[in-house]
């Protein structure tokens, strides 16, 4: 499973050869092992190209064509965060928690997150990160060892809410060994975030609904109710495998925990912006074998906040919102010893939105908690096209060895590929901060 989608499940057809690797709990270590040597050779060039705050960065390893990606400053410009940061709305006083796999010295590609965050901050001119690691669940003796998934999550939140505290909630490494272990780990992480009274919980992990039992679903939902009552905003990745959601293959389904109505589900787009971050447009993320997870739940009825939507069905629609997940529109992250990578997949769009929510919490002077009703209320109002970038093109059909699995099309307003769209935070954050706790 990844922090973005994937549970070890029943045997099924393999992915087509050449499928792009995505940062997943399961794949992060092998990705690091395969690319570490190539990326270290590119580190010096990356450091030089990243020195200018809004200059594009080369995230490609040597021997490959240049892969432009954006600095945090340019990314903040594209999604409307920059004006908020300039007036002191930077997430200070808020805590964003992220469940991550505990690492050991034997873990492939594991690095010290403290050093990597410090290098990230130095390279891009960001303030020192406030980092805290919670070991109540995993009990790790090496709490600061991190894989690429954890670094990407933390650095994306830090880029968008540089004043917020980053709270890493470590879960055991066996959280990826079975659907049951996944469900248990996520449920414990949700309960821990509620106990800690964090402002936001950003979950990049996900697994297909068909792999989760009714009892596991009920336990996770109960934990989410507890988080809602403690005014914790919980976000979940919709996954990177389009309409089938799980990289293990069919059936067509959506992912948990994003499909729970108490979670803000986050999908993926392809961002088009100028080198300095001026927003030009977006479309649904799809590279044929990977795409924005999305569709309709087989477990949860349609929540009231989705009533009346043109594409609504009888069950919960996923995702609610989206942001870039594609390498061609990615933000640069620091990954160990000066290496630069592109933040990709819905495990990058999810912490991006977590940072935006932290900004809104600071602006409001309180934890907004369950924000889904408020976001849909804003989208129904006259400010929709200022507060959101409505993504109207693309789809999440995906290619599989057995054929094409037809998904859904993006379109005006909410759709089951990109949700309500991506944020223009300079308008969305003040609007969201002014809503009451019911979203009215």
For the annotated catalytic residues, the residue numbers are 149, 153, 347
Query: Do the Cβ atoms of 324 and 333 come closer than 8 Å?
Result: no
Question: What backbone torsions phi and psi does residue 384 show, to the nearest 5 degrees?
Answer: -50, -50
The SS3 of residue 168 is: strand
Strands 264-273 vs 321-324: parallel, antiparallel or unpaired: parallel
Give dist(CA 179, CA 416) in Å, integer. Answer: 24
Task: Report which of 409, 413, 341 is spatially closest to residue 376, judged by C-alpha positions.
Answer: 413
Give dist(CA 289, CA 18) in Å, integer. Answer: 9
Contacts of 175 (CB under 8 A, 6+ apart): 1, 25, 101, 181, 182, 184, 185, 186, 205
Task: Report which of 416, 254, 253 is spatially closest to residue 321, judged by C-alpha positions.
Answer: 416
Query: Do the Cβ atoms of 266 and 320 come closer than 8 Å?
Result: yes
Strands 279-284 vs 264-273: parallel, antiparallel or unpaired: antiparallel
Please state at what angle helix 179-196 crosses helix 214-229, rounded to 10 degrees.
Answer: 10
Q: How far is CA 119 from CA 69, 114, 287, in A?
A: 18, 9, 31
Classify residue 169 by its DSSP letter: E
Query: Do the Cβ atoms of 318 and 296 come closer than 8 Å?
Result: yes
Task: Report which of 323, 350, 324, 322 is spatially closest to residue 419, judged by C-alpha positions.
Answer: 322
């Amino acid at each position: 499973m990844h922090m973005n989608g994937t549970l070890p499940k029943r045997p099924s057809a393999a992915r087509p050869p050449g499928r792009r690797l995505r940062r997943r709990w399961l794949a992060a270590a092998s990705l690091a092992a395969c690319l570490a040597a190539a990326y270290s050779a590119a580190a010096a060039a990356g450091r030089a190209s990243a020195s200018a705050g809004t200059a594009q960065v080369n995230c490609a390893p040597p021997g490959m064509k240049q892969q432009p990606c954006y600095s945090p400053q340019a990314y903040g410009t594209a999604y409307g965060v920059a004006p908020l940061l300039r007036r002191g709305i930077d997430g200070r006083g808020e805590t964003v928690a992220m469940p991550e796999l505990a690492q050991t010295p034997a873990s492939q590609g594991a690095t010290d997150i403290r050093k990597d965050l410090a290098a990230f901050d130095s390279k891009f001119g960001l303030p020192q990160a406030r980092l805290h690691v919670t070991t109540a669940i995993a009990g790790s003796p090496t709490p600061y060892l991190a894989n690429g998934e954890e670094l990407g999550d933390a650095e994306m939140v830090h880029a968008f809410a540089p004043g917020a505290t980053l709270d890493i909630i470590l879960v055991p490494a066996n959280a990826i060994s079975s659907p049951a272990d996944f469900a248990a780990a996520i449920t414990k992480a949700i309960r821990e975030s509620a106990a800690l009274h964090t402002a936001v919980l950003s979950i990049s992990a996900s697994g297909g609904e068909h792999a989760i039992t009714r009892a596991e679903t009920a336990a996770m939902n109960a934990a989410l109710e507890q988080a809602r009552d403690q005014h914790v905003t919980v976000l979940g990745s919709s996954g990177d495998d389009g309409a089938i959601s799980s990289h293990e293959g069919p059936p067509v389904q959506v992912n948990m925990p994003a499909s729970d109505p108490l979670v803000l589900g986050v999908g993926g787009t392809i961002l088009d912006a100028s080198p300095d971050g001026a927003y030009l447009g977006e479309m649904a993320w799809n590279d044929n074998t990977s795409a924005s997870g999305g569709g309709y739940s087989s477990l949860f009825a349609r929540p009231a906040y989705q009533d009346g939507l043109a594409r609504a069905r009888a069950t919960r629609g996923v995702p609610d919102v989206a942001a870039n997940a594609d390498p061609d529109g990615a933000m640069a992250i620091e990954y160990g010893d000066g290496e630069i990578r592109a933040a990709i997949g819905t495990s990058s769009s999810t912490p991006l939105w977590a940072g935006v929510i932290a900004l809104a919490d600071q602006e409001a002077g309180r934890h907004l908690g369950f924000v889904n009703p408020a976001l849909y209320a804003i989208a129904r109002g006259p400010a929709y096209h200022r507060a959101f970038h409505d993504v109207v093109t693309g789809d999440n059909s995906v290619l599989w060895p057995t054929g094409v699995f037809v998904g859904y099309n993006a379109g005006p307003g909410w759709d089951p590929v990109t949700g309500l769209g991506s944020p223009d935070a300079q308008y969305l954050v003040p609007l969201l901060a002014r809503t009451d706790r019911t979203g009215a």
